[in-house]
């Protein structure tokens, strides 16, 4: 099994996670020109499950230690730990779909800062309580800076939309809050199923490696999609209800875009779990949620979301990037 024992490499892995989690949404944006989000989501989930399986059978099966192998580790995992990782997938899936619904109602200026901002703060607290690893003062100071950065980005979006006449309903806020709260807990369920000392010794009896835990987590996402996405298709927050028949009307290229999105997100999640053994779950999760910075960069530089916006938005976004980088630097320093 491939794993990380060097903190610097663990940080690099978490930074890659940040780029993956902040970039997979581009595939949704590309597909969204002709394809409903609910239909895209099926392929996205297939991509996540596919990456989890492939990484387990390759990187998770390398080496001569039988107890560390992907298949062998799955066979000896306790039902309690399998259930924890599987539940993590269900929780993540519910949060992810609710976030998409919140964005469609309230827009990025409300849903993303409220949802992801809340997930970042609560997630770091929950994971630090579960595994108190790293300098808590630096860790939470970094989180505080990132929260301010996200709020600056939210205000920039608000200035941009000020003249559009859009209003935000209570439903949008509620969906964002529920999504962020759920998103804060999914990582803890996976981490609880893993032996976090796997970099030093073989996993304890009944515990899982990052690869086997990720696979069970992905199974939780896949299975729960048949419930959550079916509800989203029949009771959409935007547009007309659709059925599963619409999925089979899409061509191979449009399905491939969705699978690619899942593969990108899966890569980020997989290496983040591997890095957690050395960096600690709170630091790994916190750095990974720096994805907000990456997604903002895509929106500003590539998708031109602030084209024609007031000049003040430029200063706000610049301040966001500075504070975000400073916050990420403190989080990295917390583990040294």
Quick one: pLDDT at residue 99? 82
Q: Given this model, what pLDDT does residue 70 score?
A: 93
Burial label for 21, CB within 10 Å (0-12, 13-18, 19+), is buried
Look at 34 and 238; give whichever has higher pLDDT.
34
Q: Average pLDDT over the chain, rounded to whole?
A: 88
User: Looking at residues 217-235, what average pLDDT do you find?
Assistant: 96
What confidence tens digit (pLDDT) does each residue in 100-125 have? 777 767 666 566 777 777 888 899 99
Give the whole-angstrom CA distance, residue 6 versus residue 3.
9
How much of the chain, in percent, has pLDDT values that exceed 70? 93
Please say if the pLDDT value at position 63 is more than 80: no
Closest to 47 (Cα-Cα) out of 269, 284, 246, 242: 269
- Per-residue model confidence as pLDDT tens digits over 145-202: 988 988 887 788 778 777 555 555 677 778 888 988 999 999 999 999 998 876 666 7
pLDDT band at 64 (very low <50, low <70, confident <90, very high): low
**Per-residue confidence band for 73, with pLDDT thresholds at 50, 70 and 90:** very high
Question: Rg of the Cα trace of the chain?
Answer: 20
Q: Which residues contact 56 (CB under 8 A, 6 or more apart)?
A: 70, 211, 212, 214, 215
CA separation for the pair 21, 272 (Å, rounded): 10
Residue 296 pLDDT greater than 80, yes or no: no
Which of 70-79, 115-124, 131-140, 326-335 is the least confident region? 115-124
Q: How far is it, in rounded angstroms, from Cα 134 to Cα 58?
A: 31
pLDDT at 141 over 80: yes
Confidence (pTM): 0.90
What pLDDT was estimated at residue 214?
97
Contacts of 188 (CB under 8 A, 6+ apart): 88, 123, 126, 127, 130, 281
DSSP 66: G
Q: What is the pLDDT of residue 165?
A: 57
What pLDDT was estimated at residue 198?
66
Mean pLDDT calculated for residue range 213-232 = 97
Mean pLDDT over 307-335 rounds to 88
Mean pLDDT of 304-318: 84
Identify the pLDDT of residue 109.
58
Per-residue pLDDT tens for 127-139? Answer: 999 989 899 999 9
């Amino acid at each position: 099994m491939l794993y990380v024992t060097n903190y610097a490499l663990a940080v690099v892995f978490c930074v890659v996670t940040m780029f993956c989690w902040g970039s997979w949404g581009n595939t949704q944006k590309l597909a969204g020109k002709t394809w409903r989000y609910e239909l895209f989501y099926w392929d996205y989930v297939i991509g996540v499950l596919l990456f989890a399986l492939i990484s387990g059978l390759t990187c998770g099966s390398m080496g001569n230690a039988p107890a560390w192998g992907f298949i062998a580790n799955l066979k000896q995992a306790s039902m309690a730990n399998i259930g924890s990782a599987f539940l993590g997938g269900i929780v993540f899936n519910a949060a992810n779909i609710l976030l998409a619904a919140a964005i469609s109602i309230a827009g990025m200026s409300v849903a993303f800062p409220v949802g992801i901002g809340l997930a970042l703060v609560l997630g770091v607290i929950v994971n630090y309580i579960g595994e108190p690893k790293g300098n808590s003062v630096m860790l939470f100071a970094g989180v505080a800076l990132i929260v301010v950065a996200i709020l600056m980005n939210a205000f920039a979006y608000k200035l941009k939309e000020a003249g559009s006449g859009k209003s935000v309903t209570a439903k949008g806020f509620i969906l964002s809050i529920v999504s962020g709260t759920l998103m804060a807990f999914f990582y803890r369920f996976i981490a609880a199923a893993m032996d976090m000392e796997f970099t030093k010794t073989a996993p304890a009896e009944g515990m899982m490696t990052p690869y086997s835990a990720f696979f069970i987590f992905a199974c939780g996402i896949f299975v729960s999609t048949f419930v959550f996405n079916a509800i989203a298709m029949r009771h959409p927050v935007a547009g007309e209800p659709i059925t599963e028949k619409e999925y089979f009307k899409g061509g191979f290229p449009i399905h491939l875009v969705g699978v690619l999105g899942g593969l990108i997100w899966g890569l980020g999640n997989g290496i983040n779990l591997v890095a957690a053994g050395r960096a600690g779950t709170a630091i790994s999760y916190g750095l990974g949620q720096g994805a907000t910075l990456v997604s903002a960069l895509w929106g500003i530089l590539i998708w031109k979301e602030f084209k024609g916006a007031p000049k003040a938005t430029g200063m706000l976004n610049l301040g966001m990037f500075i504070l975000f980088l400073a916050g990420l630097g403190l989080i990295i320093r917390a583990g040294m």
